Structures are given as C-alpha cells and as structure tokens.
Chains A and B, each alone.
Chain A
Amino acid sequence: MFDTDELVINMGPQHPSTHGVLRVVLKLDGERVVDSDVVIGYLHRGIEKLSENRDWTQIILLTDRMDYVAAATNNLGYCETVEKLMSLEVPRRARYIRTILAELQRIASHCLWLGTHAMDIGAMTVFLYAFRERELILDLFEEYCGARLTYNSMRIGGLPLDISPGWDKKVREFCTIMDEKVDDYEQLLTNNRIWLERTRQVGVISGPEAVAIGLSGPALRGSGVARDLRKDEPYAAYDEFEFDIPLGGAGDTYDRYLVRLEEFRQSVRIVRQALDGLPSGPIIGKVPRLIKPPAGETYHAIEAPKGEIGYFIVSDGKSTNPYRFRVRPPSFCNLQALPRLIKGHLVADVVALIGSLDIVLGEVDR
C-alpha cells in the first residue's frame, strides 16, 4: 500500500555518543538498523610511521597518544616489546611498580568506560561518580610522574622514577575507597530494571564468533572465552599474584558490563598484593646509553584495559630507530564487531553497543 524507504543517517563523526570521532552510517527501517557502515580515520595521526623516524625512547611518548585514557598500559606494552628484542632484564621492583601502574590504569580506564556507557544509556549520575574515582587515580599518577593523562611513565629496561615516599599509602587508601564505590555503582545499575532491559540480550555474540572476529579483552571474556594475557602469557609481575578472570555467559551487553565491574575488584586485589610484596632494589636495569636493539623482529602483546595491545617491531640493528613499527590496537579489532552487533537492533542500542565495546578513537585511528 505504501512504499517505505530506508533512512540513511550519519551517526557521527560529531555525535555525543560515538566516543570521539567515530562515524557510523546507519541504514534505518523506522528505528531498526538494517545495515551499517563504520567509517574511521578522523583521528589518524600516523603514529606508526612517525615512530619509524623517532629514536627508541621517544616512541614511548607517542604510545601515550594512542589509547589516551590508558597511557601507562601502552607504555608498558611498548617497553616490554623493546626489552624482549634486546633481551633486557627488568629489576623486580620495577616490574612490581609497573604492575601497580598498569592496574591503576585499568581501573581508571574502566571508570571512564562505565561513566560514558551508563551516560549513553541515560544514567547520568554514574558518569559523575565514576569520574570522581578516576580523578583520584589521576592524582596518584600526577604524584608519581607529574602528568595526568599522557604519562610517559616507563622507560626501556625499567622506570624513570621511583615512587615517592607515602605514595604507596595513598594507593592503599584509594583501594579501600574503590572497593566501596564499585558496590555503589552496582547498586545503581546491576539490578536496575531499566538497566537490565536495556542491556540484556542486546548485542549478543557467541564465544566462537567473538574469537573469529578477533575480539579481545572484556568484550571477549563477556562471551565466556577465558583468555587474559595476564594469566596466559604473564608479563610484568602478574605471575606472582593471585587474581581471578571474570567470565560472562551469554555474551550480551550486560555480561560485558558485569565482567568489567568485576575487573575493578580484581585490579584492586592485584594492586594490594603488589604493594604488600613490593621489593626493594633498583628501578631500572642495565641499559646501554644508546639503545640500539640487535637486528630482528618481535611481537609482544599485553592485556590493556580494552583488550590485547600488541606491538610488532622490526629493528635493522644499525639505526637508532625501528625499521618497522606496527601496533595491534584492541579498540580497532573490537570495533570490527560493531556492524555485526548492531544489525537488527534499534538506534538506542547502537549507542549502548558502541559503549559496550569500549573503544578509544585515538587507538583505532592511531
């Protein structure tokens, strides 16, 4: 009787819920997504190419600018890759402090995720609460290295700075606060009927499918696949601590939410153990003045808050910069699942699912 047209709508690159400059071209039938096309590249700065013209130490601060809400983890991944290439030994104290920083960073990144994800679904108070706790972590980082967002907090072979006296006590205080606050978040959302309706059975992805797409991190574990590099291929000092890997079952938005909330608690647990066992000693190993790794190539991945961040580095053994530098960013790989996830869902679910994948465009585009 009537002809219906599909409505093509541009969500982004300037849209409040695409977490930066993501552009999703949606084909809508009413409000239902028939087809979608994810357009990226608005934040491309050529970090990988730039890195091939910087010396090995300078690259650390370029890695800050990829996933800018989890800069310390990026630093860690890069430094460990170069250490692997050079077969450098990192002192135990440095590995412990690196672990503490990485886990604090995970909490900070998850705080940002929780806040924006809840905001996308309409619960705006959680946003402010989560940012309040993130602020405390930024203060801790500021005290450690002077920066609040792009830390440049690690060096090849160890750390630039030891922790200042009393810093560990402040971290402990933060751990106590965080434990309470996670319960607060749960009280606001976990059993909230509207939250359940908005997240359950939304964007379901099965374990095998998630593996096939290349999901990693909480998005993969939400589908029940037990893969966490902290356990599977331990780096830094993770093999010395006890912690659990939370897993989801159904693989929907709600499971991914629960996994991340539990990771808050596990991160706090790791930080506490690291503080308890913090060894004394040097914070940087025996590193040559001029860093010039031997010719060869290596790949090393660590568990960033958003998934596996891997670095592939080729050194020609002659110059003071890498011959080839390539990053496997978790956000980029996780974003591949978006068209598959949003198909058949409503516009309101699109923003929920973008939030649920936890992407940072700085890392997607690099």
Chain B
Amino acid sequence: MLDTVVIPLLKILILLNGVLIAVTYMVLLERKVIAWVQVRLGPMRVGPYGILQPIADAVKLMVKEDITPTRADKWVFTAAPIIVIVPALIVFAVIPFGDQVDLFGRTVSLYVTDINVGLLYIVSVASIGVYGIILGGWASNSKYPLLASLRASAQLISYEVAVTMTLVSLIVVAGSLSMVQIVRAQQDAHVWFVFLQPVAFVLYFIGGLAETNRAPFDLPEAEQELTGGFHTEYSGMRFALFFLAEYANMIVVSAVATTLFWGGWLRPFPSIQVAPLAWLGLVPGWIWFLAKTFVFLYVFLWVRATLPRYRYDQLMRLGWKVLIPLAIANLIVTGFVKVLL
C-alpha cells in the first residue's frame, strides 16, 4: 500500500507542484535574463528584485476575463489548452532527477516511475501537445491563429522526425530506452554520451528549440508577423495554460538533454575516483541534474535574446535538408561503429 500508492502519489504531488512553480519562475528568469542582456533591469516592483512577480502574474491571469470568441468552436477552443498542458506535465513522470536516496529509513527513487520504453514515451507524449496548438488556432475561427496553426503543424511534424531520428542513434549507444538505464549506461561507459554523440546532441538541441516553438524558431507565435499567433484569441487562464506549457516543454527538453547526453544525475568524471575530485561526489545527484538542466534553460533564453527569427520556408528547409539527413547519417555511422567495435 505504502510503496504502491502513497509514495508514488506523494512524488506526483511534489513533482507537479515543483514543475508548476519552476515554470512560473522560468517566466521571471526569462524576463530577467533578457533584461540583463538588453541592459535593462526587468521586473523590479513586486517583491525584492521582482521575485514575487510570478505570483502577481498568476493572480492577474486568473482574475482576467476569459473570453471565448462568439464564432469560435467552443468545445475545441476549451479543449486545446488542456491538450497542450497535460502532455507537457505528464512527461515529467519518467525523468530521473536522481538515483535512489535514503529518506526516513526508506530507499526512495527520485523519479515517479521508470518504464522500459521511457524515451519512446517522452517522444510520443510530447508530440501530442502540438494538436492543442493546431486545434487552438483552428477553433479560434480567426485568420492569424489559423496561419499560425498551419505553421505549427508543419514545423512540429518535420522537427519531430529529426529529433526522433537523432535519439535513435543515442539509443544504439545506450542500448536501452529506459531513462534510468541510459544514465546508468553512461556510468558504465565512464563517459557522458555527449562525447560519444556530439552531433546528435547538437541536432537534438536545435530540434528541441524548434519543437518548443522557441526563438529562432518561434514562428507559430511570431508576434511581429502574426500578432501573437495561435493564442491571439485566448485570454486569461486559458492563455496562461499555453504559456505554461511552452515553458514546461523547455524544461522537458533541457531535462531530457541532461539525462541523455550530459549524464543525468552523474557528477562530472563519473567514474574517476581520485582525491582532487572527491568533493564533486559530495554534491547530491539531483543538484547536479538541476544545475545541468538550468544551463540548458539559460541557453534557451540566451538564444532568444540574440538571434533573429527564421522564415517559414527556411525553417522547413533547415529541418528537411539539413537536420534530417545529418541525423540519418549520424545514425548510420553510429550503427557501423557499434557493429565494428
């Protein structure tokens, strides 16, 4: 009873709240980081250095009037934000934040569950989210959101292919689809997989930027072109759900990149046991995990502050003519090396 129901439920509760808080603070972090890049201060009014800004934002969004356009398809319009946010949150179930720890005399694993097709689960669940964007844009019965949802469907489908292809070559190296096993495989290999699969990592990260609709691939919500894109007609909490899902997806992409390529909860130099590196082992695994994830999140923001936006046709060209061929080539090379060694 305790092991099968109570502890998983507790984990889910903690994780869900943790993720939601992290997401709201990602918004603040983004505003702060971009402000610093742009020689501004960012939010400063709500709480010291604006640290209570996310709470103010949440309250504002919740009390705002929630408008459904008269000619919108009401059911689909309501369902779309839910379809976006749910996959973004349930993906976290298989992400290993750390190995097992001893807590109150029990051994607790720092992940909700470890399923043997974890990576496949992430890829497939994450790709459901795009339906919400497509349906939301369509159901608004408005022209700009419609254009945006067309962009979103084309973009997400093509980048999904590239990302999945890339991950296959990693699976070949790791020999497992389970997220926990992939981290353990890196421990056994004595090296983070990014050093074995650098091309795959770069492809994955670019594809991740595109899949999460982040700059420079933020075409579906290009404010300057489509006045906000698919969420033009959304307001209040429904808009907030789209917003939260985007940031949750950023965290997912960063966490998956950490797990697959950068050793998950492993410390740097995971298997070298020499005295000068001993202090690295004192830091708990989940802190390593969060720190690495944070680095990627920072890169997301950094990229957004620096780069202009791709155009629709250029984005598709990059996806189909560069990323996918590279991913396939990488897979073939990986396969040969694996067979030959």
Residues on A facing B (Cβ under 8 Å): 7, 9, 15-17, 28, 30-31, 118-125, 128-129, 132, 188-189, 192, 194-195, 197-198, 346-351
Q: Which residues of chain B are near A7, meaning CB under 8 Å?
A: 143, 147
Can you list 24 residue pairs at the A/B interface with Cβ under 8 Å? A7-B143, A7-B147, A9-B143, A16-B223, A16-B227, A122-B216, A122-B218, A122-B224, A123-B307, A123-B308, A124-B38, A125-B38, A128-B38, A128-B39, A128-B40, A192-B307, A192-B308, A194-B309, A197-B311, A197-B314, A346-B311, A347-B147, A347-B226, A351-B224
Q: Which residues of chain A are near B57, meaning CB under 8 Å?
A: none
Q: Which residues of chain A are near B222, meaning CB under 8 Å?
A: 122, 348
Residues on B facing A (Cβ under 8 Å): 34, 37-40, 143-144, 147, 150-151, 215-216, 218-219, 222-227, 305-314
**Bound complex: CA A265 to CA B274 (Å):** 57
A190 → chain B closest CB, angstroms = 12
A200 → chain B closest CB, angstroms = 11
B144 near A9 with CB under 8 A, answer: yes
Q: Which residues of chain B are near A119, meaning CB under 8 Å?
A: 224
Closest to A192 in B: B308
B39 near A132 with CB under 8 A, answer: yes
B225 near A17 with CB under 8 A, answer: yes
A55 → chain B closest CB, angstroms = 43
Q: Which residues of chain B are near A197, meaning CB under 8 Å?
A: 310-311, 314
A27 → chain B closest CB, angstroms = 12
Closest to B314 in A: A197
Most B CB atoms within 10 A — which of A7, A15, A125, A346?
Answer: A125
Q: Which residues of chain B are near A348, meaning CB under 8 Å?
A: 219, 222, 225, 309, 311-312
Give me the 4 closest cross-chain CB pairs, A-B, nearest first: A122-B309, A128-B38, A123-B308, A122-B308
Closest to B35 in A: A128
Name 19 extra pairs, CB < 8 A, besides A198-B309, A346-B311. Answer: A7-B143, A9-B147, A15-B227, A119-B224, A121-B308, A122-B224, A122-B307, A124-B34, A125-B34, A125-B305, A128-B38, A132-B39, A194-B314, A197-B310, A197-B314, A198-B308, A198-B311, A348-B219, A348-B311
**Bound complex: CA A118 to CA B305 (Å):** 12
Q: Which residues of chain A are near B40, meaning CB under 8 Å?
A: 128
Q: Which residues of chain A are near B226, meaning CB under 8 Å?
A: 347
A124 near B305 with CB under 8 A, answer: yes
Q: Which residues of chain A are near B307, meaning CB under 8 Å?
A: 122-123, 192, 194
Closest to B143 in A: A9
A220 → chain B closest CB, angstroms = 25
Q: Which residues of chain A are near B150, meaning CB under 8 Å?
A: 30-31
